[in-house]
Amino acid sequence: MVNRPRRLRATPALRGMVRETRMSADSLIYPIFVREGKGIREEIPSMEGQYRYSVDTLPYVLEETAKAGVPSVMLFGIPGEKDECGSGAYAEDGIIQKALRTAKKEMPELTYITDVCMCEYTSHGHCGVLDGQEVDNDRTLPLLARTALSHVRAGADMVAPSDMMDGRVAAIRETLDQNGFSGIPIMSYAVKYASAFYGPFREAAGSAPAFGDRKSYQMDFHNRKEALKEALSDIVEGADIIMVKPALSYLDIIREVANLSNLPVAAYSVSGEYAMIKAGAKLGVIDEEKLIAETVVSIFRAGSNILLSYFAKEIAAMIREGRIG
């Protein structure tokens, strides 16, 4: 035989030399939950090893994240009070606004990205203001733009709208530009499916809808072409990074979006993916580290340039120590 593919698998050095998918900790983002209160560092029951922090304990996890080699974090806020229009999302003294001011002072070397949505702040748990029992898309847009602007004024380096309202990227881009923030990038949750993988997050953030579901604005997981339509729409509206969420069940979509545009593609390995690996490891039926490595590589191999993961600190250590790369 002339062609023997096994020749290039014979030794670790050869395998490393020809490896197609390579990763860097620079591409990792660690999600963090911040809530009202003081002295809080409470473990999330459905997400073993993940915590909610109050603003005064936030520097602890920020320092831990920086030391792990993860350069960026995504902040999710849990307000003390909620109302029908989610006013805590854009309040000057809102939880994210306070967290940003503290974070930028204590750990300015990190990059701070904020989730821009209404679901954690509305009393009904939906991602926008309601008209009866339906989310009113167009009335929600100014509130999302106002939220993004308040985050940037408080110190956000990037904003990430996750609401899935039509036209929200354009509304946010216009508002930021008009207020002198044309240099702030938007990471759009452009391709966000209505997924059962979000369950642990909704417990962590207290954002489960009080009635119905989010299928009228998040995407049907049967659809592939719709993902390309959503991505193209956000690109035209001014998105700088396109996100696909969740990650593992949507590797084909990550590849499609990566092929569609030269914009960077992010993937969010969501709470349910994290919880499944943790549960399997606890039962002793899987090797946690090996499964983390395999799933992470699959996401980057599919075409992602950026990964949001609750395992970000562990992944950075694995990259640094040569256990994944």
3-state secondary structure of 300: helix
Q: Phi, psi at residue 155, to the nearest 5°?
A: 130, 0
Per DSSP, 264 falls in state -
**Given 192, 215, 225, 313, which residue is catalytic?**
192
* Structural tokens at position 277: 């690996």
**Given 98, 245, 278, 313, which residue is catalytic?**
245
* Structural tokens at position 127: 């991602």
The beta strands (E) that lie in the chain are given as 28-35, 41-43, 51-53, 72-78, 111-116, 130-131, 134-135, 158-161, 187-192, 241-245, 265-269, 306-309
Name residues whose C-beta falls within 8 Å of residue 241's C-beta, 6 or more positions apart in sequence: 185, 186, 187, 188, 263, 264, 265, 266, 306
245 is catalytic: yes
290 is catalytic: no
Neighbours of 86 (CB within 10 A): 28
Q: How far apart are CA 169 and CA 229, in angstroms?
A: 14
Q: Phi, psi at residue 30, to the nearest 5°?
A: -105, 120
Q: Which of 176, 171, 221, 175 is CA-nearest to residue 197? A: 221
Residues belonging to the active site = 192, 245
